[in-house]
Structure 1
């Protein structure tokens, strides 16, 4: 196994890693705020909204992400009457599946963060004359974020690894190029290189979240 061979397979794998990173960025940017909105919906005094949010979280967390991706990519177009309007680009469908799935997980993380906040702080905010929005923005959100940050970091690392599921819906990402190289060259080296790329991505992500934890810990 020569250095030239490693170099020749690394470039296509890095091309596939771009798709992996793009999916991660889209999923994390959209699913975190959506997860927080779901948390607020669960805690809503409007019962139908709360029940809907709880049911959504239960279903999305209780079924495999792969099943959800397959349903969105291949199941939705098979629905009667409306199926022809639900044919999505594979990457768009995958993004939708990851966003919907991870929003449910982040919702539970944020719910735990809210529960951990002492009820006395809500009472103190009323004494200070803060309205609900001011209490949420100035008191609740900063504390919830600090409490939830380690769990968000763990879930984000899992998201990086779960992007390999794109392979199952024929989106050309990192694992797709690795498998193609293995089949072509009858060598396990592409799998090793792919593993190293995944490790680098998760390492960078871990460093970023560790920095965020240190920053918000002392604020």
Structure 2
């Protein structure tokens, strides 16, 4: 086989097989390859842009949206205070829910049959009961237990306290959200733990690596790649689900919006206030999720793809390089 034959086999897109552009060769002297023309892509894209423009035009020009009222209440002190309550409910529900969910997941995968049964029963029960029922139950817990005591089981109590003085509406909401979230996060964490190949743990044990270091360096990085996408969805769902505590008259974002439009009758712009705040904070959570996933992807990919910001900077640099005058050129 000759060298020319080898060269032709290594380059299937030879000039005689490709569509050559009438513009002639490029700077390297090779013929330009003309790309295929897809007119329907442009037609579909144009239709989509027309529909988006029509929707945007309706948002701007329709007086029913009442953007003046929206701007008036978007950063109102009462709305911002309610937004803080929503964030606190999300934070405590996430931290406590995933902490308890981690313990339940460990119980589900443990070799102790008692722990496996207790963890499975908890997950089955709290996934079966609607969240609103759980919240109302904890909100009315004082009806069942007026006082609670802490001490030795079936023995003397060290101290006791009145339930109504300790479990407020906010505390009851946190307990309900956390216990409900724990049931779902336990299954997410268990799935992530089971996704790690057992052979890697056996190899780490054979090398004499301690159990805690095995979990930190072998299990956790790989499990997090499976846990993070679904866990982020759960956190975002919990953030939006905090609106359900409005049935307990807790002044979170949706409840406060209801109070305001109950007074002034401006339902649509006030609903848009809550909607835009939910969108803004969900977007922030999605960005945080992206960078956490990127951090735990370091062990799976040799070279991470550029971030959106890095792509924008590279594109701006490329455009600036093309538009800059050549070196040595005179004006």
Q: Which residue of 1 aligns with 2:70?
A: 6
Question: Secondary structure of the residue that 2:196 maps to in structure 1?
Answer: coil
Tell me how far 1:185 sits from its aligned partner: 1.3
Considering Cα pairs closer than 8 Å and 6+ residues apart, tell me whether 1 or 2 has the greater RCO.
1
Structure number, greater radius of gyration:
2
C-alpha RMSD over aligned residues: 1.7
Q: Which residue of 2 aligns with 1:65?
A: 131
**Higher strand proportion (structure 1 or 2):** 2
Q: Closer, same or farther in 2 for the Cα pair 1:80/1:96, shift >3 Å?
A: closer
Q: Which residue of 2 aligns with 1:104?
A: 183
User: Could you tell me how far apart the structure 1 residues matched to 2:67 and 2:213 are?
Assistant: 61
Q: Which residue of 2 aligns with 1:86?
A: 163
Q: Alignment length, in residue pairs? A: 217
Q: Which residue of 1 aligns with 2:253?
A: 174
Q: Does 1:143 align with 2:207?
A: no
1:35 to 89, 101, 113: 101
User: Could you tell me how far apart the structure 2 residues matched to 1:81 and 1:173 are?
Assistant: 27
Q: Closer, same or farther in 2 for the Cα pair 1:97/1:122, shift >3 Å?
A: same
Unmatched segments (≥5 aa) in structure 1: none
Question: Secondary structure of the residue that 1:45 maps to in structure 2?
Answer: coil
Unmatched segments (≥5 aa) in structure 2: 1-65, 149-160, 300-331
> What are the Cα deviations for residues 80-107 of structure 1, in whole angstroms up to 9, with x where unaligned?
6758943320001100111111111111
1:198 to 275, 278, 291: 278
Q: Which residue of 1 aligns with 2:319?
A: none
- Higher mean alpha-carbon deviation, 8-17 vs 192-201, is at 8-17
TM-score by length of 1: 0.92
> What are the Cα deviations for residues 183-215 of structure 1, in whole angstroms up to 9, with x where unaligned?
111112101111111111111101110111112
Tell me how far 1:57 sits from its aligned partner: 0.8
Superposition pairs of residues 110-121 of structure 1, within 5 angstroms: 110-121=189-200
Say if 2:122 and 2:183, in contact at 8 Å, map to a contact too. Answer: yes
Tell me how far 1:134 sits from its aligned partner: 2.5
Say if 2:107 and 2:116, in contact at 8 Å, map to a contact too. Answer: yes
TM-score by length of 2: 0.62
**Higher helix proportion (structure 1 or 2):** 1
User: Could you tell me how far apart the structure 2 residues matched to 1:141 and 1:30 are?
Assistant: 19
Say if 1:9 and 1:181, in contact at 8 Å, map to a contact too. Answer: no
Q: Which residue of 1 aligns with 2:82?
A: 16
Q: Closer, same or farther in 2 for the Cα pair 1:178/1:205, shift >3 Å?
A: same
Q: Closer, same or farther in 2 for the Cα pair 1:145/1:2, shift >3 Å?
A: closer
